[in-house]
Amino acid sequence: MNDIRRSILWVVFGLSMILLWDRWQIHNGNQATFFPSSASTRATDAQPAPVRAADGTLPAATGLAATGAATLPGEAPTGAPAAVAQRHEVSTDVFRLVFNSEGGSLVGAELLRHAEATRTSKDQTERPFTLLTQDGGRIYVAQSGLIGGNFPTHKTPMRLVEGPLSLADGQDELKIRFESDEVGGVVLAKTYTLRRGRYDITVEHEVINNGEQTINPQLYVQLVRDGGKVANETPFYSTFTGPAVFTQAQKYQKVDFSDIEKNKASFERNASDGYVAMVQHYFASAWVLGEGVLRENFVRRVDNNVFAAGAIAPLPALAPGERQVNSALLFVGPQEEKVLEAITPGLELVKDYGWLTILAKPLYWLLEKIHSFVGNWGWSIVLLVVLIKAAFYWLNASAYRSMAKMKKINPRIMEMRERLKSNPQAMQQEMMKMYREEKVNPLGGCFPILIQIPVFIALYWVLLSSVEMRNAPWVGWITDLSSPDPWYILPLVMAVTTVIQTALNPLPPDPLQAKLMWFMPLAFSVMFFFFPAGLVLYWITNNILTI
């Protein structure tokens, strides 16, 4: 048992030192030695995604060459003056949105119920959290348009139809409509329907054929984002930022920006269900086309450090004088699990628990139920750990009895190892005989603990991924469970409880390894000075109950 425990601790210790060194390198402006990340330079003049038409051409003004393209869809008619893009601000109880008259695109979104800065940061202003933006060297926008001919695209000037731009008191729904001029005899109108308390927006694309020929347009929707990480990530852990594709066949597929750069992106391209999304810590956006609508998903590089994720769906043929309306859903908001589940199947997976989702989801469900009674996320964490430890009580009791027996016979083992150190075979036989006589299982204290490790790792990811922890207070000085303790009190308590727990465990016979057993809790605790307070609270509660 001691050999197995020592091996596990050596691995933990080595990994901790690697992570510490990498974070120190990054802190000093150097590239990480062991886990270097791709460059995250902000795009200062990002261009929209190049969506190809059926004939291989690209919308105008993408900034990319369209080799062999005779005509680029989306160009202004010959001789027409260049339109000046206008920005239109729209507000609801949860949103402050900015639409651009160029394509009627959504180019800004502030989430009014979520603050830009956490409560422990130096920026104490209460500005709303900005998710979509096209300012300050950043780009993160939602676009849509038509391809397959000379049709309106996300570069086509559109006019805002007159109407209210804010959700009035007592009003549950607000419609924002943009209409394009004729492009090749085709008019595209976009109607955004915003609802009270909702982060999902219904987007209706109305195609009107005023021309003299039947047309076969294709609708494309896309999210365009720079490859920069969110600015307030905490050291020692990294969450996924980038595109994701979900289909019922292949489920949730994350695509790294680096794989897109290398043209190695792997995801299901043809589907009739699911969504495409852009994901970052706590927040996400997604385009959801109708169930059963055939579409081609795409993820591609647009410009230097700018990427797009979207889908192209063929529309029914439209005869002269006909019109048709095609509805899609655009989600822009926080990763609130219950809200995401209600929008479309699989959307809750943007809240990424990794390979332990099967354990993490019921743990989050239990945590949310506890919170509905106590009303405080900090105490909910404490009570959840208590329930988990109670569920594993008999397993833990068996492990600790075995460890107590090992601690009792440890002096005899150390004496025997010293006496027979020149005869390893005799030492092994003598040790096995001692285990039989004392009825000690050397693995008895190890296996029960190993069985519980996946549960506690899953709980770790629940606390790390839940937006509910962001700016959630616990007691006194802990005003944000998603940020490190500003006074470092919890990490110090964590270090003390870890040392006490180590003292109660049997130490290895080897003096050097015994010293390492005392040093490791202190080294491991260093990381917790930078961990969110909610995670440290979880470990402290577990340590105290273990003691």
Helix 511-528 and helix 533-546, axial crossing angle in degrees, nearest 10:
140
So what's the pLDDT on residue 408? Answer: 78
pLDDT given at position 430: 82
The pLDDT of residue 235 is 54
Is 159's pLDDT higher than 80? Answer: yes
At residue 64, the pLDDT reads: 29
Nearest to 536 by CA among 490, 498, 497: 490
State yes or no: pLDDT of 204 exceeds 60.
yes
Tell me which of 136 and 286 has the higher pLDDT: 286
- Across residues 365-390, what is the average pLDDT? 96
- All structural domains of the chain: 87-352 (2.70.98.90), 361-546 (no CATH)
pLDDT at 77: 33
Distance in angstroms (rounded) separating the CA atoms of residues 502 and 288: 51
Over residues 374-398, mean pLDDT: 91
Which of residues 34 and 94 earns the better pLDDT score? 94
Cα(205)–Cα(248) distance, integer angstroms:
25
At 499 the pLDDT is: 84
Q: What is the pTM of this model?
A: 0.81
Give the range with max mean pLDDT: 319-333, 497-511, 519-533.
319-333
Q: 529: helix, coil or strand?
A: coil
> Residue 17, class by beta-carbon neighbours within 10 Å (0-12 exposed, 13-18 middle, 19+ buried)?
exposed
In the numeric block, which tokens belong to residue 316?
A: 């029914």
What average pLDDT does this structure show over 218-241?
81
| Mean pLDDT for all residues in the chain | 82
Check whether 22 has a pLDDT greater than 80.
no
Average pLDDT over residues 367-377: 97
Beta bridge partner(s), residue 248: none
* C-alpha closest to that of 210 among 238, 239, 246, 186: 186
Q: Which two tokens stand for residue 270?
A: 């043809």
Residue 396 in contact with residue 456, Cβ under 8 Å?
Answer: no
Closest CA to 47 of 286, 233, 225, 245: 225
| Cα angle for residues 102, 104, 109 (degrees, 5° grid) | 105
Between 59-73, 105-119, 386-400, the lowest mean confidence (pLDDT) is in 59-73
Predicted pLDDT of residue 368: 96
* Of the candidate ranges 194-208, 250-264, 443-457, the one whose mean pLDDT is the lowest: 443-457
42 has pLDDT over 60: no
Region of residue 305 (left: phi > 0; alpha: psi -120 to 50; beta: else)? left
- Cβ(116)–Cβ(127) under 8 Å? yes
Choose between 448 and 489: higher pLDDT: 489
Residue that is written with structure tokens 């285990």 in the block: 435
Picking from 516, 546, 538, the residue whose alpha carbon sits closest to that of residue 12 is 516
Confidence of residue 361 (pLDDT cuts 50, 70, 90): very high
Distance, in Å, from the CA atom of 222 to the CA atom of 143, rounded to the nearest integer, reads: 5
Whole-number Å distance between alpha carbons of 263 and 451: 40
Query: What's the pLDDT at 520?
Result: 73
Please determine, for residue 169, whether its predicted confidence score (pLDDT) is greater than 90: yes
Q: Using an 8 Å Cβ cutoff, are 283 and 466 in contact?
A: no
Strand-strand pairing, 95-100 and 186-195: unpaired
Q: In what order do the strands lie in the sheet with 251-254?
A: 158-160, 173-180, 186-195, 200-209, 323-334, 283-289, 275-280, 242-247, 251-254
Whether residue 40 is predicted with pLDDT greater than 50 in this model: the reply is: no
Which tens digits make up the pLDDT trace of 437-456? 777 776 655 666 677 788 88
Q: What is the pLDDT of residue 355?
A: 84
**96-112: per-residue pLDDT in tens?**
999 999 999 999 999 99
Q: Is the dihedral of CA 148, 268, 241, 286 positive or negative?
A: positive
Instruction: Tell me what pLDDT residue 451 has.
Output: 76
Rounded percentage of the chain residues whose pLDDT exceeds 70: 79
